Structure 1
Amino acid sequence: MTLRREILRLLAAVNARRREDVSLGALSALAHRSPFNLHRRFVAVVGETPKAYTNRVRLDRAAADLLATDRQVSVIAHDHGFASHEVFTRAFTRRFGSSPRAYRARGLRGGLAGDDRAAAIHADTVTSVAPCVGLYRMNALERSTPVPVDIAVKDLPALHALVMRKRIARDEIAATLATMLPALFTHAQQHGIAMAGPPFARYPEFGMGSLVMEGGVSTTEPADGVPEAGIEALTIPAGQAAVAVHRGPYETLPETYQAIEAWIQAEGRTVAGPPWETYLTDPGEHPDPATWQTEIVQPITDPE
Structure 2
Amino acid sequence: MPDFKTITVEETPYLFQEATCSMDPADIGTTMGKIFQSVWAFIQKNRIETSGKVLAVYYTYNPETMTFRAGFSVSPDAANKGEAPIQFDRTPAGKVVYFQHKGAYSTLRDSYGEMMSWMEKERLTMGAPAWEVYLNDPATTPEDALLTDVYVSLS
Show the counterpart of 2:4.
Answer: 151
Is residue 88 of structure 2 the alignment partner of residue 233 of structure 1? yes
TM-score by length of 2: 0.90
1:220 aligns with 2:75: yes
Q: Deviations over 1:74-132 (max 9, x none)?
A: xxxxxxxxxxxxxxxxxxxxxxxxxxxxxxxxxxxxxxxxxxxxxxxxxxxxxxxxxxx
**CA drift at 1:227:** 3.5
- Higher helix fraction: Structure 1 or Structure 2? 1
1-structure distance, mates of 2:107, 2:92? 28
* 3-state SS of paired residue (1:205): coil
For structure 1, the residue ranges without an aligned partner over 5 or more in a row are 1-147
- Specify the alignment match of 2:111 in structure 1: 256
Q: Of the two, which has the highest radius of gyration?
A: 1
Cα distance between partner residues in 1 of 2:110 and 2:132: 13
Structure 1 residue matching 2:71: 3-state secondary structure: strand
Structure 2: runs of 5 or more not aligned? none
Q: Percent identity, aligned pairs only?
A: 24
Aligned to 1:299: 153
Q: RCO higher in 1 or 2 (8 Å CA, sep ≥ 6)? A: 2
TM-score normalised by the chain length of structure 1: 0.48
Does residue 245 of structure 1 match 2:106?
Answer: no
Change (3 A) 1:222 1:273: farther
SS of residue paired to 1:244 = strand
Out of 108, 113, 138, the residue aligned to residue 283 of structure 1 is 138
2:20 aligned to 159, 164, 167, which one? Answer: 167
Q: Select the structure that is richer in strand.
A: 2
Question: Residue 176 and residue 222 in structure 1: after superposition, are their counterparts in 2 closer, same or farther (change >3 A)?
Answer: farther
Paired AA for residue 152 in structure 2: Q
What does 1:54-69 align with in structure 2 at a 5 Å threshold?
none
- For residues 97 and 84 of structure 2, the distance between their equivalents in structure 1, rounded to whole angstroms, comes to 33
2:57 is aligned to 202
Q: How far is the alpha carbon of 1:281 from its aligned partner? A: 1.5
